[in-house]
Each structure stands twice: as C-alpha cells, then as structure tokens.
Amino acid sequence: MNKMKMSRRKLVPIYAVLIPILLLSSSSYGANLGTDYAKKEELYIEYKQPAQVTISSTGINRISIAPFIATTIWGDSAEYSALLSHNGSELFLTSKIEAGKSFALAVQLAGGRVIDLLLHTVEADRPKIVRVELQDESLAKLEETLEIKRLLNAMMSKANGKYYVTQMKRVVKINTDSNETFAALNAEQNMVYRFGNLVGVVLTLKNKGKKEVSIDAKSLAKAFKGVLAVSLHNQLLKSGDSMEAFLVLRKELES
C-alpha cells in the first residue's frame, strides 16, 4: 500500500459499527436526491496504485465499490465527513476543504485488502457519483475458472441455459506433437457453445487405428490451439470406438 502523507490531526477510522446510523435516513435520502446527481462516473483502479478521484467540494458525494465491501476507512477527519451504507459498498462523502485541493483516504475491504484513494475537490453544481471498479487479477482468474467449469458442465449435461448453442458438424485438425498415437484419431466437432469470450466445443473422437489409444486431458489440450480446459468421459479408446471430449477455448477450432 502506498504511504499517505497526513497532517498531525487525528486519524479517525470509520468502522462498520457506524453503518446503523446511516440506516435512519439512507432510503429517503437516495429517493429524494437521486435525480439531483450528475451522471455517474466509472473509475478502474488496481491495488498498490492510488486511484485519482474527482469529487464535488460541496454536497454529499457517493463512491461505490460494489460488489466489494469496505470495513474501515482511514483519513484526516479535518478534511472530510463520511458514512458507509448498510451493505458496506457505498461511501457517502462530504469534503471539508475548498475546491482545488486534495486529500487521501485508505479503504480497507472485507478480507483485509487495502486500496488508496486520492480525492481532488472541484467546484460542481451537483455532487459526484463515482463507481470504483477494482481490478483484482486473483478474483478475475477465479471468476473465469468458475465460468469455465459452468461451461463444461453445461456441455456434458447437454443443457443450453445461458449459452448460445449451435450445431456445427465438421472435421477438425489434431496436432500429434503431444501424442503420436493421436494420428489414429478422427476428430469431428458437433456442437459449439458461446458465452462472453469463451467458446465451448463438443468433439467426437473416433479411433480409426488398429490399436487402443490412451487419451489424457493434458495431451489433448495441447493437440489444439488456445485450449483452456478439457473434460473426458474416459481415457482409453479401443479400435473402432468413439467418445466425446469437451473443450473450452477463447476462439473456435481450426478445420
């Protein structure tokens, strides 16, 4: 976390225990003033890098970090007043300093992570609404992993769900560098599932050779370009037999 330069004034943390105070007026406050706010701004930040945020020097600004939850806010209480919403994802902030000056806040999230905000005050007709979109690689990776698992499950259970599914029968090329015995396989694409930047492919693998072929998911993934995940029903394919394989990629397979 980047160090913040503070004056000798007392640093006052805002804890979640203050949240009930806001509950007394938050619902009516939002209903009455929602139309008076300027157009919502979006801000993308990364951990270990201070986020530059512009707020109004007058009125109650709102900074949203949803779906994340703030538990504590550290800063110089002489420079601002703030309260957290009931869900901990909305910060209502009033500046005590004049337009043109800046102050720093450190926001601790549930789980212990801390982000730094550098807030610049400006003259504005209306308070600001700023959405802070936290860029956390570990969370993004976790979400992608979960989405890949959902896609694999949908293909294996032959469920359409939220996916755009098309029947697309065609023969696809297998790279035999990872496993020479794959030369005996014929691969035919049957179905394609699409969601976001992911493509799911259902393949039928047929052993056209005379010997049994051992197929493992890792080797099969290397047999095609851009494969993120593979699921197989079994790993042994006898001569003349066929089996399904389920692949997740970022783009369609090459013919």
What is the pLDDT at residue 135? 62
**Are residues 130 and 153 both part of a single domain?**
no
The answer, yes or no, to whether residue 140 has pLDDT greater than 50, is yes
Expressed as residue numbers, the domain containing 150 is: 139-249
Q: Residues 147, 113: one domain?
A: no
> Does 230 lie in the same domain as 122?
no
Q: Please say which residue of 90, 110, 135 terminates a domain.
A: 135
- Domain identity same for 126 and 152: no
Claim to verify: residue 150 and residue 112 sit in the same structural domain: no
Q: 49 and 96: one domain?
A: yes
Residue 243 located in a structural domain: yes
pLDDT value of position 254: 57
User: What pLDDT does 116 receive?
Assistant: 87
How far is Cα 164 from Cα 29, in angstroms, rounded to an integer?
A: 42
Q: What is the pLDDT of residue 176?
A: 85
Model pLDDT, residue 217: 87
pLDDT, tens digit, 9 for 90 and up, residues 20-42: 222 222 222 222 223 333 444 44
- Is 148 found in the same domain as 126? no
Q: How far is CA 79 from CA 18, 21, 55, 75, 209, in A?
A: 19, 21, 13, 8, 77
pLDDT tens digits along 190-235 = 999 998 888 999 999 999 999 999 888 888 888 888 888 898 888 8
Q: Is residue 255 part of a domain?
A: no
Q: Which of 109, 135, 161 is the last residue of a domain?
A: 135
Q: CB under 8 Å to 158, separation ≥6 — which residues? A: none
* 52 and 155 assigned to the same domain: no
Q: What is the dihedral of CA 66, 72, 73, 77, to 10 degrees?
A: 140
CATH of the domain at 128: 2.60.40.1550
The DSSP bridge partners found for residue 187 are 172, 205
> Phi and psi (nearest 5°) for 191?
-130, 150
Q: Say if residue 58 is in the same domain as residue 78.
A: yes
Looking at residue 253, its pLDDT comes to: 65
Q: What is the pLDDT of residue 202?
A: 94
Number of domains in the chain: 2
Instruction: Give mean pLDDT, residues 90-103.
Output: 93
* Mean predicted confidence (pLDDT) in 246-255: 77
Q: Is residue 2 part of a domain?
A: no
Is residue 7 in a domain? Answer: no
Predicted pLDDT at 193: 95
Q: Out of 26-35, 66-75, 113-122, 166-175, which region has the weakest mean confidence (pLDDT)? A: 26-35
Top-confidence residue, 179 or 189: 189
Average pLDDT over residues 179-191: 89
Give the pLDDT score at 30.
Answer: 23
| Residue 3 lies inside a defined structural domain of this protein | no
The whole-number pLDDT of residue 41 equals: 47
Task: Specify whether the CB–CB gap between 209 and 180 falls below 8 A.
Answer: no
- Are both 92 and 169 inside the same structural domain? no
Q: Among residues 88, 104, 135, which one ends one of the domains?
A: 135
Q: Are residues 143 and 131 in the same domain?
A: no
pLDDT digits (tens, 9 = 90+) for 2-21: 443 433 444 444 333 322 22
Residues 121 and 24 in one domain: yes
Cis-peptide into 13, omega within 30 deg: no
CA–CA gap between residue 97 and residue 131 (Å, rounded): 22
CATH of the domain at 174: 2.60.40
Residue 152 has pLDDT above 70, yes or no: yes
* 254 domain-assigned: no
In a domain? residue 199: yes
Q: What type of residue sits at position 46?
A: E
Half-sphere exposure of 102 (CA within 13 A, CB side): 13
Q: Indicate whether 149 belongs to any domain.
A: yes
